[in-house]
A and B are shown apart, each in its own frame.
Chain A
Amino acid sequence: MPRRISTLLAIHALLGLGIVQGPAGCSEQPDPERPLVVYAAMSLVDVLPPLLEAWTQDGHPAVQVDFASTSRLARQIAAGAPADAFIAADAVWPASLQRAGHLLSPAETPLALNELVVIVPADASTIPRSLDELTRIPGKMALGGPGVPVGRHALQAIEIEGATLESWESTRIHGTNARHVLRLVALGEADIGVVYKTDAMTSSDVQIAFALRRPSADSEIGYFTAITRQSTRKDSVRRLLDHLAAPNSREAFLSRGFLPPGPRG
């Protein structure tokens, strides 16, 4: 009986190793057939896929894109996730990843800019029109967590106006990304939320109460691209990122409410 068990265990171990080694072995070689992997901020979830599709249709490799909060994607890249490119919702995360050696230099100009708006559910009875009015509305506020760009941008924008959210501290729901915050307000679970204008425009269950003043030029809310150091398809990725930054693609961004990059008017 013990011999049979050890034989079974040995076969089990060999099978396990075989299953693990198979796909793991293949990913070491640059494979022109494998899709490019792009990690992109959640707020780009509507605008990117058609642009990527168009690029592939033009005879370029297929692109697989993962959307999540910039911070989560950054941590995954830092942990060695197999991304070829990173499109972040700020310049801070790409810079820190580059310093740690995971990314090549990020692009100097962002693909597009965004602005923050305060939203309330579509059927809200009271609509605040300024930050002062915000603190007088009871209930819950949905914000991105402090590490998430949409959360950090929101806190910065509020501080710049000289306001604080201290009275909201105990009923602040931390969203994992911009679309999560949007959803919390759309469901009515949060009475107020701060999201990008482009996200607010996608849902008929929320309405924009007012816009937050845009931060200074050196902390604009922009989408910065970078190629990962471990990518084996750097040339293809460079062409893809150039395509996304081209004037044709800019149209797609503008039509969804994004703002063009460049000197502030």
Chain B
Amino acid sequence: MDVDAILWTSLQVATACVIASAIPATACGWWLARHEFPGKTLVSAITLSPLVLPPVVTGYLLLEALGRRSVVGSFFAETLGIPLSFSQPAAIVAAAVVSFPLFVATARLAFEGVDVRLEGIARVHGASRQRVFREITLPLALPGILAGSLLVFARALGEFGATAVVAGNIPGETRTIAIAVYTLLEDPEGDGTAALLTGISLGISLVAIAGYEALLRRQRQKSQVGGRSC
């Protein structure tokens, strides 16, 4: 088994997953943090649902919705040339969907930690909503959002259930560390490589979680000090 290819695939999928879900998750997080509206609980529940669904079930639903024979899936596969099942895009989508709740929750907490009075003051002094968001809200919430993206990166690296169902085991495209280890469990000579991949996986996760903690600490500082940015 090509360990380099497996690592590269995992890193590609995890990175693409973070990039793809950054804006939607931040937007959702901001919306839920700053707005009250009828049905807010339902919306919040829907964004959190991948967290409580077994990932394999999420994968099954994705396969039904995006498989080659589905309406959406066949459009992407045939017209746009991007198959959304058993391909690397499928792995990215699976990881993104499964980790979406983590991203949204972290972003939401980050935005909720930003003092709305600061935004109010800026508005009173004539700043537009966009400028307030760009120059006050976002910079103050940024450590928290970055923390969320690290969490999502780590989660995407470890994602297995949904990926196995909708992206499958394709060497070089969707064979991530988790899928590789699972495959090696069926190989009589697989123990050595499995241990190596497990060690690498642990190492990356520890680094990611350490970064997450550090960023969370930064976020807390920014919220407590009343928003004085460094």
Contact = CB atoms under 8 A, between A and B. Distances in A.
Interface of A: 69, 71-72, 74-75, 96, 140, 145-148, 169-176, 184, 187-190
A189 B68 contact: yes
B111 interface: no
B14 to A, nearest CB: 21
Interface of B: 63, 67-69, 85-86, 168-173, 175, 183, 185-188, 190
B68 A187 contact: yes
Given A140-B170, A173-B168, 16 more contacts: A72-B186, A74-B188, A75-B188, A140-B86, A145-B169, A147-B188, A171-B170, A173-B86, A174-B168, A174-B175, A184-B86, A187-B63, A187-B68, A187-B69, A189-B85, A189-B168
7 contacts: A71-B186, A74-B188, A147-B187, A170-B172, A170-B173, A173-B168, A189-B86
Contacts of B172: 169-170
Contacts of A74: 188
Contacts of B68: 187-189
Contacts of B185: 72, 75
A113 to B, nearest CB: 23
Name, among B63, B168, B187, the residue most crowded by chain A CB atoms within 10 Å (CB to CB): B168
Given A173-B168, A173-B169, A187 B186 contact: no
Nearest to B74: A188
A174 B183 contact: yes
The A contact surface, by secondary structure, is mixed
Contacts of B168: 173-174, 184, 189
10 tightest A-B contacts by CB? A71-B186, A174-B169, A147-B187, A147-B186, A173-B168, A188-B68, A72-B186, A188-B69, A189-B86, A173-B170
A148 B170 contact: no
A173 B175 CA distance: 10
Given A187-B67, A189-B68, A169 B187 contact: no
A190 B86 contact: yes
Name, among B86, B170, B186, the residue most crowded by chain A CB atoms within 10 Å (CB to CB): B186
Given A75-B186, A145-B186, A147-B187, A189 B67 contact: yes
Given A169-B171, A189-B86, A148 B186 contact: yes
A179 B216 CA distance: 46
A91 to B, nearest CB: 14
A147 B190 contact: yes
A9 B190 CA distance: 40
B170 A172 contact: yes
Contacts of B173: 170-171
A188 B85 CA distance: 11
Contacts of B170: 140, 170-174
A146 B67 contact: no
Contacts of A75: 185-186, 188
A69 B173 CA distance: 23
Nearest to A148: B186
A64 B41 CA distance: 45
Nearest to A97: B188
B166 to A, nearest CB: 9
Contacts of A72: 185-186
Name, among A147, A170, A189, the residue most crowded by chain B CB atoms within 10 Å (CB to CB): A189
A189 B168 CA distance: 10
A172 B187 contact: no
A96 B186 CA distance: 13
Nearest to A100: B188
Contacts of A174: 168-171, 175, 183
B1 to A, nearest CB: 9
B183 A145 contact: yes
A229 B69 CA distance: 47
B186 A69 contact: yes
A175 B169 CA distance: 7
Contacts of A176: 169, 186
Contacts of A173: 86, 168-170
Nearest to B170: A173
Nearest to A174: B169
Nearest to B173: A170
A184 B165 CA distance: 10
B186 A172 contact: no
A108 B63 CA distance: 43
A80 to B, nearest CB: 15
A72 B171 CA distance: 19
A126 to B, nearest CB: 16
